[in-house]
Structure 1
Amino acid sequence: MRSDVLIVARAGRSPHLECAGGIAARRTEPDTVHLVSAAATPLGGDAIRLRVVVEEGARLAVRTAAATMALPGALTTESHASWDLEVAGVLDLDPQPTIVAGPSRHVTSTRLAVSAGAAVRLRERVQIGRTGERDGYWSGSLHADVDGVALLRHRVELGNGSFADDEIAAPRACVSELHYPATDVDTAGVTLALAGGGCLATWQGERL
């Protein structure tokens, strides 16, 4: 299944929403949109594409109604999700965790184009396996630019088959949180200031 979501936030107006496939978007507050599963997704073979545009002077918070559960499909175990973010206003993107269940392989990518006068917080939380499971795999990449200039290139792998995998002590959960332009944030993990402004906080462990 292919799912497509478009959210456009404009100053002084309600967010514009377009949805197709297994993901629906609902405005829950004047500047807040929740994503809701309208069908079981992502399963192996599914592709989810989410595009978010925040125009100058607009504010938007994006949330999810529940955790995302990646499950294997009948023909393949791999699913994909991509975020395409264009931000000239204020964006706070903080979905519930992604759980990679059983032998699933889930790949996410985020591309962020932010204007110098904008503000962004992006948080991604991932857990490999439900209780007693350790054999899922996840890969996540973040490509962020400010006014066309590179801000961050970041990629993490977790789980079975990842570069750092081992049977004894390899992490099975992670949190990545990007802030721009804020550099002093109170959050879990290690915070690294970025040369172009903003900061990236990262945490890894066994369970969220």
Structure 2
Amino acid sequence: MRSDIVIVARPGRSPHIECTGGIAARRTGQDTVHLVSSAATPLGGDAIAMRIVVEVGARLNVRTVAATVALPGPVTTESHATWDLDVAGELDLDPEPTIVAAASRHHTSTRVTLTDAGVLRLRERVQIGRTGERQGFWSGSLHADVDGTPCLRHRVELGSGSPADDEIAAPRACISEFHYPRSEVDAPGVTLALAAGGCLATWQGERL
């Protein structure tokens, strides 16, 4: 299944929303949109494409109503999710965690285009496995530019087959939190200020 979601926030107006596939978006507040799964997704073979545009002077909060559970499909274990964020206003994107269940292999790619006046908080939380499961795999990449200047290139692999995988001890959960233009935040793990502005906080452990 392929799911496509487009959300456009404009100043003084309700967000414009378009959805097809297994995910719907609902306005739940003046500047808030919640994503809701209308079908079991992502399963192996599924692709989810999210595009969010926040225009100058607009503000948008994006949330999910529940955790995302990636499951293997009948033909393949791999699923994909892409996020395309175009931020000239203020965006706070904080979905519930992604749980990579059973032997799923889930790949996430996020591309951020900011203007110098844009404001962003982006948090991603991932857990490999439900209780007793350790065989899942997740990869996530974050590519951010500010006014055409590279700001951040970040990639993490987690779970079975990742560079940090080990039978004795290896992280099975991570949190990444990207802020712009703030260079200092109170977030779990280690916070790194970025040369082009903003900061990235990262944490890894056994369980969220």
1:49-74: CA deviation from partner (whole Å, max 9, x where unpaired): 00000000000000000000000000
> How much identity, in percent, do the aligned residues show?
77
CA–CA separation in structure 1 for the residues paired with 2:193 and 2:108: 24
- 2:24 aligned partner: 24
1:111 counterpart = 2:111: yes
CA–CA separation in structure 2 for the residues paired with 1:159 and 1:184: 29
Task: State the Cα distance separating 1:168 from its structure 2 match.
Answer: 1.2
CA–CA separation in structure 2 for the residues paired with 1:116 and 1:76: 41
| RMSD between superposed Cα atoms in Å | 0.3
- 1:198 aligned partner: 198
- 1:46 aligned partner: 46
In the TM superposition, what are the counterparts of 1:2-81 in structure 2 within 5 Å? 2-81=2-81
CA–CA separation in structure 2 for the residues paired with 1:194 and 1:40: 38
- 2:157 aligned partner: 157
TM-score by length of 2: 1.00
- 2:183 aligned partner: 183
- 1:123 aligned partner: 123
CA–CA separation in structure 2 for the residues paired with 1:109 and 1:172: 19
What are structure 2's unaligned runs of at least 5 residues?
none
Q: Aligned letter for 2:51? A: R
Task: State the Cα distance separating 1:164 from its structure 2 match.
Answer: 1.2
- Paired positions, count: 208
Q: Aligned letter for 1:122? A: L
Q: Aligned letter for 2:139? A: S
Q: Aligned letter for 2:180? A: Y
TM-score by length of 1: 1.00
- 1:132 aligned partner: 132
Q: Aligned letter for 2:206? A: E
Q: Aligned letter for 1:83? A: W
Q: Aligned letter for 2:34? A: H
